[in-house]
């Protein structure tokens, strides 16, 4: 090791300085070993005196954690739905997008037919070519999509479990969100 002196030149550690560094490391190692011995002794005393079956600690529900749990359950449901669904137009994707006139992104889940209809309408407007209205195209396919989803959920028990998990997670999130928003000066009408 070397030390930078007052003039900016490095010099080797003196034997006394080197001994101090080694001594500090040894003292720190010894202290750590003592702490480990005390901790293990306390554990062995506790093990011999009583056996604890289970300890449950419940903390305050974090709105953010509940929202992430809801999103994960939603992703699981749609991933399973997409795998059993045989029509790619009805596969669902969840994305973050900002509504028109806003920079705040929101999570939305849309079927491919919705995304394609919106893209076709936007392309038509941009190029000045008549294109079918996205609203009418989506309305036309939405009922078919919902019927197909219902049939698949009823036929596939795993899909039903995933949908139930998503519903439970969404309910937990919305219940907790209502509690957080009670008496709040901030607007809670929008999804957080």
pLDDT at residue 36 above 50?
no
| Whole-prediction pTM | 0.62
Question: Averaged over 73-87, what is the pLDDT?
Answer: 96
pLDDT for res 38:
45
pLDDT at residue 172 above 60?
yes
pLDDT for res 180:
82
Say if residues 137 and 113 touch (Cβ distance below 8 Å): yes
DSSP assignment of 28-90 equals HHHHHHHHHHHHHHHHHHHHHH----------PPPHHHHHHHHHHHHHHHHHHHHHH---GGG
pLDDT at residue 35 above 50?
no
Q: How many CB atoms lie within 10 A of CB 81?
A: 20
Question: Averaged over 144-170, what is the pLDDT?
Answer: 96
**Gap between the Cα atoms of 151 and 153, Å rounded:** 6
Residue 186, exposed/middle/buried by CB under 10 A (0-12, 13-18, 19+)? exposed
Angle at 174 between CA 173 and CA 176, to 5 degrees: 65
Question: Averaged over 165-187, what is the pLDDT?
Answer: 86
pLDDT at residue 192 above 50?
no
Angstrom CA distances, 39 to 31, 36, 77, 168, stand at 12, 5, 45, 41
């Amino acid at each position: 090791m070397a030390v930078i002196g007052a003039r900016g030149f490095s010099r080797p550690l003196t034997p006394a300085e080197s001994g101090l560094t080694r001594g500090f490391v040894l003292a720190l190692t010894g202290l750590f070993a003592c702490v480990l011995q005390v901790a293990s002794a306390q554990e062995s005393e506790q093990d011999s005196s009583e056996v604890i079956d289970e300890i449950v600690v419940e903390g305050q529900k974090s709105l953010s954690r509940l929202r992430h749990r809801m999103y994960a359950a939603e992703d699981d449901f749609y991933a399973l739905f997409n795998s059993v669904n045989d029509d790619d137009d009805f596969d669902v994707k969840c994305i973050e997008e900002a509504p028109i006139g806003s920079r705040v992104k929101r999570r939305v889940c849309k079927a491919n037919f919705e995304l394609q209809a919106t893209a076709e309408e936007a392309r038509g407007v941009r190029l000045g070519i008549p294109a079918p209205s996205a609203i009418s195209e989506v309305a036309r396919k939405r009922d078919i999509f919902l019927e197909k989803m219902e049939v698949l959920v009823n036929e596939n028990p795993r899909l039903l479990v995933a949908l139930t998990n998503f519903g439970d997670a969404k309910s937990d999130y919305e219940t907790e969100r209502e509690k957080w928003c009670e008496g709040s000066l901030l607007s809670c009408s929008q999804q957080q």
